[in-house]
A and B are shown apart, each in its own frame.
Chain A
Amino acid sequence: MQIYLPIAELSVNIFLLLGMGGAVGFLSGMFGVGGGFLMTPLLIFVGIPPAVAVATEANQIVASSVSGVLAYWKRKSVDFKMGTVLLAGGVFGAFVGVYIFRLLREIGQIDLIISLCYVAFLGVVGSLMLSESAKTIRRSRAGLPGPRRKTRHHNWIHGLPLRMRFPRSRLYISCIPPLVLGFMVGILAAIMGVGGGFIMVPAMIYLLRMPTSVVVGTSLFQIIFVTAVTTILHATTNHTVDFVLALLLLLGGVIGAQFGVRAGQRLKGEELRALLALLVLAVCLRLGVDLVSTPIDLYSLDEVIDK
């Protein structure tokens, strides 16, 4: 059954969209990730214009982050103060990101930049995750204990001015690093149609030295605001948020996530990470191949954006 998407202006099989939402929802439930980095490339693969895919996915992430953050909130594992500092930077980053997005669209480079960003980030994050989880798996098979994380070690970040107290994370650090981190991830969120959790979470652990227990909840909390702002900005500057598409993805995603959570509980953490890493690398590879393989036509048509 085909459904016509009013903003993307094409008709797509409704079950394909629900299935994609379900599959990505399943994976995001299983691995505890937002899924934006999988959904946006998938949407592009099925022929949704990249600009619409990015903006619509931002809208969907708002919903999935809300349902995620509520669960963490109940367990008191959200650092609202840190989240607010991050999102202050993030919202500003979203403004800059959407501006860059529009600029790139006008000069006809947006598709290329989206793909390049994906290949670079997925490649780096995927390989790091794979090597880390492979090490852990080998170590646990050999019966050795996992590596001890260096905690409370002072690095250059702790020498910066404008220090703030974050009681929930038991941190007393400068507010500049979280602001800058939020800003950078905000730009990426707007350009790539992701929440940015896959960069935010490692950065919070390794750079800000936040306790692992509050990292995911806090990341989700700030993602809600950054993607909400991104959605509104894309809607006003690019007219690329497809409500019908978001609705279908959301529906499939919500259901898929429930099954994913259950499936995820049966696997070990490092096995999950290894699987996710392989998935991330597969998407990266596919996008990379598209960048270098000869297109069907070297000339393409592009509608001029209304000024």
Chain B
Amino acid sequence: MSAQSFVMKALWCTSVLLSLWLSTHKAEADSLVADLSENTIAITSNFTGKNLVLFGAIDRSTTLSTGNLNEQASRDVIVVISGPNNQTPITVRHKKRVGGIWVNTNSILFTGVPDYHFVASSRNFDDIASDEIFRRNEIRPQNIKIKSVDIELDEETLNTYRNAIIRNKSRDKLFYEKQGGVEFLDETLFRANVEIPAHISVGIYNTKVFLVSDGRVISVQSKSLYINKTGFERSIYEFAYDSPFFYGLLAVVFALFAGWMASLVFHQD
């Protein structure tokens, strides 16, 4: 508990420093600064997911100086974390009842499906901007440009399958939408809690923070988030993929040894 409050205090201080820094560097400053509480997540043997805090500040004076904006204009922040970058295609399979048993019948191969897609916004999406803006920036799960390799399929079938991807991923908390998940602490400071589930893939993820005002994106900030396996888990994973034959051989030798040990210990007759 105390560790958590310490983190919160640290974040708060950083945020205050950020806003101070913003206010003193008006001329060359971005209108938005944000960062995650951790930029690297290590998957270790006791990894059960992780809660990150994204925090940041917007500079109202800069947004004002860009021209069209006035003091009353709405300011919204949207946080998107998506990835990993090296996406492998996925197959979506459709089950049908065949003789009483559920069998995978049709399947379609899709590319461009992120393994994980998190989005949080400061208000309801409908109040922030139009669908067009979300589509262009691939903000919500349904805005992700998921493409099929097969070009002969009709749009209706593709949409059924696309929706199935979103539904499955959402059920596993891998696609996650948090309307109102970005919280403004005052006029300029904001924060968002990001839940990284335990079954996340390793790789480089892209964090994007959008500043939206009057339905227009006026600033975007990008950062990378690294998720890696470390230690023993990493060694095993790499060993299994880099030299699978020796990995298998070692597993067998170990099992032979373990079996022999067990009989030594327990069957002394």
Residues in chain A within 8 A of chain B (CB atoms): 1-4, 6-7, 9-11, 59-60, 62-68, 70-71, 108-109, 112, 116, 224, 228, 231-236, 239, 241, 243-244, 246-247, 250, 254, 257-258, 291-292, 294-304, 306
CB-based contact A66/B171 at 8 Å: no
Chain A facing B: main interface SS: helix
Q: Verify if B218 is at the interface (C-beta below 8 Å from A).
A: no
Chain B's closest residue to A291 (CB) is: B101
Question: Is the beta-carbon distance between B258 and A233 smaller than 8 angstroms?
Answer: no
Contact A4–B248 (Cβ < 8 Å) = no
B259–A295 contact, CB under 8 A?
Answer: no
Q: Which residues of A have CB within 8 Å of B240?
A: 6-7, 235, 239, 241, 243
Q: How many residues of B sit at the interface, in one of the four size bands?
A: 35 or more
Contact digits for B161-177, partner A, Cβ 8 Å, 1 yes 0 no? 10011011101000000
List 25 interface pairs A-B (beta carbons < 8 Å), by A numbering: A2-B46, A2-B47, A4-B198, A6-B232, A11-B47, A62-B255, A67-B262, A67-B266, A71-B263, A108-B91, A108-B104, A235-B240, A243-B247, A243-B254, A250-B258, A254-B258, A292-B101, A294-B102, A295-B102, A296-B171, A298-B96, A298-B164, A299-B92, A301-B90, A303-B91
Of the candidates B44, B89, B169, B245, the one whose C-beta lies within 8 Å of that of A236 is B245
For A247, what are the chain B residues with a Cβ–Cβ distance below 8 Å? 254
Please measure, in the bound complex, the distance between the C-alpha atom of A183 and the C-alpha atom of B95, giving whole angstroms. 32
Cβ contacts under 8 Å, B90 to chain A: 301-304
Q: Is there contact, CB below 8 Å, between A300 and B168?
A: yes
Residues of A with C-beta under 8 A to B20:
none
How far, in Å, is B228 (CB) from chain A's closest CB? 12
Distance between Cα atoms of A236 and B241 in the complex (Å): 8
CB <8 Å contact, B259 and A243: no
Residue in B43, B100, B101, B262 whose Cβ sees the most chain A Cβ within 10 Å: B262
Q: Check if B7 is an interface residue, CB within 8 A of chain A.
A: no
- What string of 1s and 0s marks CB contacts (under 8 Å) between B256-269 and chain A? 10111011001100
A304/B262 contact (C-beta < 8 A), A4-B44, A67-B267, A295-B102 known: no
- Contact between chains at B45 and A71 (CB < 8 Å): no
A6-B229, A239-B244, A299-B168 known; A59 and B91 CB under 8 Å? no
Shortest Cβ-Cβ A-B pairs, 10 listed? A66-B259, A235-B248, A299-B164, A232-B248, A62-B255, A63-B259, A63-B255, A67-B263, A67-B259, A6-B233
